[in-house]
Amino acid sequence: MTTHKVLVLGAGYAGTAAAIQLAARTKGRDDVEVTLVNAHETFTERLRLHLTATGQQVAELNIPELLDGTGARFVRGWVTALDPGTRTVRVDDDRVLHYDTLVYALGGVADTVTVPGVEEHAHTLNSPEDAEVLAGRLARLEQGTVVVAGNGLTGVESAAEIAEQHPRLRVVLLGRREPGAAMNRKARAHLQAALGRLGVEVRTGAEVTKVLPDAVELAGGETIPADVVLWTSGTRAAPLAAAAGLAVDDRGRVITDATLRSVSHPNVHAVGDAAAISQGYGVLHGTCQSGMPTGVHAAVSILRALAGKEPKPFRFGYYHTPVSLGRHDAVVQFTHPDDSPRRICLTGRPAARYKEAVTASPWPTYLRMKKMPASGAFWPRGGRFTRGVR
Ligand SMILES: Cc1cc2nc3c(=O)[nH]c(=O)nc-3n(C[C@H](O)[C@H](O)[C@H](O)COP(=O)(O)OP(=O)(O)OC[C@H]3O[C@@H](n4cnc5c(N)ncnc54)[C@H](O)[C@@H]3O)c2cc1C
C-alpha cells in the first residue's frame, strides 16, 4: 500500500483548520500522512497582533500540542521554495519535503514594496516579531507622533489601541476614504466617535507617496513629521506560488477553482489569505471568518478525492465585521453574505465582548475539531449570493 502525503504549508487560521481536519479524519490510517509546516511552533493569533504591538500579553498556543495524538507531523521552518514538477517543498533551504497533495496556506502581509521607503522606515504587523519590535519602539518613545498609514480595519484597530495604551503619543490615522467607510451610518459614526474620544487625528483623502526616516510624504507634497510609522495598507501574498509557476492574481494569491484547487496545478489547494477564491459576489477578501472554512473545505475535498468522490464547490457568505476600538469599546457591523452592511450593528461594551469572543474562538474550535471533525463544517454558505455559481 502506498501512503498519500498531504503537506500543509502555513499554520495560520486557514492552514491549522485544514491540518487538524485532515489529521482528525485520518487518525489511525496509514494510507495518508499529514505534515504541517510553519515558521513558529506557537500559533500566531493575527487578530491580536495590535495587542502585541502595544506591549500586551497574548496566550501561547502550541501547535505541536494541538496535533498531539492525531498522527500528524509538525515541521518548524521557513518555506523557501516549492517545485510542482518534483512535488517538493524546500524548508530553511536545507530540508526537502515531498508531497502528493499540497495545501498552500501561507497567508498575506501588508504591501511594503509599492510605496518607496516603507520597507526601510515603516513598521508592520506582518509577524509577531514585527509587532514586538513596534512594541519596543513605542515603549521607548516618551513623546512624539505615530502615523498609522492605511485606515482599513487593521489600521483603525491599531490606531485605537496605540492611542489607548500610549496616551502621551500623538496618533495620526491616514487613509484615502473615511474610516469605517464600508459600515452603515450608525456603526461608522460610533467608530469615528471612538477614534475622536481616544484622541486619534483622522486625515482622509490622504495618499502616502513616500515614507522618510522621520516623516511621511503625501501626494501634493505635504509632509507629516512622524517618529514612528505603522504601515497597514494593501496586502500581498508570499511570492513563492508565483515563483513556482502557479497561476496567481495581481496580489500573488493562488487562483483557485470552485473546489479550492489551483487552476494551474490541481494537486495544490489554496486557502485563506494566500488564495484568490471567487464567489458569486466577487473574490473573497482576507478574513479569519472565511479563512477557517476554506481550510476545512480543502481538507474534506482532499479526502473525498482520495475516496474516489468528486469534491464539492466551496460556498461562503460573510456575516459580520467586528472591529476593536481599544480594550473596552468596539463596533460589530452585521453584514449580508456579500459583506455589504446590514442595518443592525452592535457598539460599546457588548461589542467589545463579542469581538473578544470571536477573537478567542479559533483555538477552542480546533480542539473541538480534533475530537469531532464534523463540528468544523458549520458556516454560512451565502444563500442566493453564492447559489449556482460555477
Ligand atoms: C491586527 C489585525 C487584526 C485583524 N482583525 C481581523 C478580524 O477582526 N477579523 C478577521 O476576520 N480578520 C482579521 N484580520 C485578518 C486576519 O488576521 C487574516 O485574514 C487571517 O490571519 C488569514 O489567515 P491565514 O491562515 O490565511 O493566514 P495567517 O493567519 O497569516 O497565517 C499564515 C501562517 O503562515 C506562516 N508563514 C507564512 N510564510 C511562511 C513561510 N514562508 N514559511 C513558513 N511559514 C510561513 C505564518 O507564520 C503564519 O503562521 C486581522 C489582521 C490583523 C493584522
198: which 3 cell numbers? 481616544
Cβ atoms within 10 Å, residue 218: 17
Cβ atoms within 10 A of the Cβ of 318, count? 22
Q: Residue 140: is its pLDDT beyond 90? A: yes
Average pLDDT over residues 31-38: 97
Mutate to test the pocket of ligand 1, among 8, 90, 106, 161 (most ligand atoms within 8 A of CB): 106
How far is residue 324's CA from residue 332's CA, in Å, rounded to a whole number? Answer: 9
pLDDT of residue 2: 87
Whole-number Cα distances in Å, 6 to 105, 107, 271: 13, 18, 14
CA of 28 to the centre of ligand 1 (A): 30
Between 372 and 2, name the one with better pLDDT. Answer: 372
Q: For the ranges 108-112, 334-338, 352-356, which has the lowest average pLDDT? A: 108-112
- Asked whether residue 390 carries a pLDDT value surpassing 60, the answer given is no
The reported pLDDT for the residue numbered 384 is: 86
Dist. CA 122 → ligand 1 center (Å): 19
Q: For domain 4-109+235-318+361-385, give the CATH superfamily.
A: FAD/NAD(P)-binding domain (3.50.50.60)
Ligand 1 atom with least separation from CA of 232 = 53
User: How far is Cα 278 from Cα 297, in angstroms, rounded to an integer?
Assistant: 14
Model confidence at 261: pLDDT above 60 = yes
Residues of the chain within CATH 3.50.50.60 domain(s) are: 4-109+235-318+361-385, 112-231
Does residue 107's CB lie within 6 angstroms of at least one atom of ligand 1? yes
| Beta carbon of 49 within 6 Å of any ligand 1 atom | yes
Q: Give residue-wise pLDDT tens across range 160-170.
A: 999 999 999 99
> Under CATH, domain 112-231 is a member of which superfamily?
FAD/NAD(P)-binding domain (3.50.50.60)
Average pLDDT value for the chain? 96
What's the confidence (pLDDT) of residue 389?
55
Q: C-alpha cell of 30?
A: 496509514
Q: Is 230 in the pocket of ligand 1 (CB under 6 A)?
A: no
Percentage of the chain with pLDDT > 70?
99
Q: Cα(273) to centroid of ligand 1, in Å?
A: 7
Q: Average of pLDDT values for 190-208?
A: 97
Residue 45 Cβ contacting ligand 1 at under 6 Å = no
The cell 496586502 sits on which residue? 235
Taking residues 223-252, what's their average pLDDT?
95
Residue of 47, 126, 156 to test ligand 1 pocket, by largest number of atoms within 8 Å of CB: 47
Q: What is the pLDDT of residues 301-332, one digit of tens each?
A: 999 999 999 999 999 999 999 999 999 999 99
**Ligand 1: centre distance to CA 12 (Å):** 6
Q: Where does the pLDDT of residue 134 fall: very low under 50, low under 70, confident under 90, or very high at 90 and above?
A: very high
Predicted pLDDT at 257:
97
For residue 46, report the distance from its CA to the centre of ligand 1, in Å.
Answer: 5
Its pTM stands at 0.96
296 CA to middle of ligand 1, Å?
16
CB of 11 within 6 A of ligand 1: the answer is: yes
Q: What does the pLDDT average to over 72-82? A: 97
Mean per-residue pLDDT, 221-248: 95
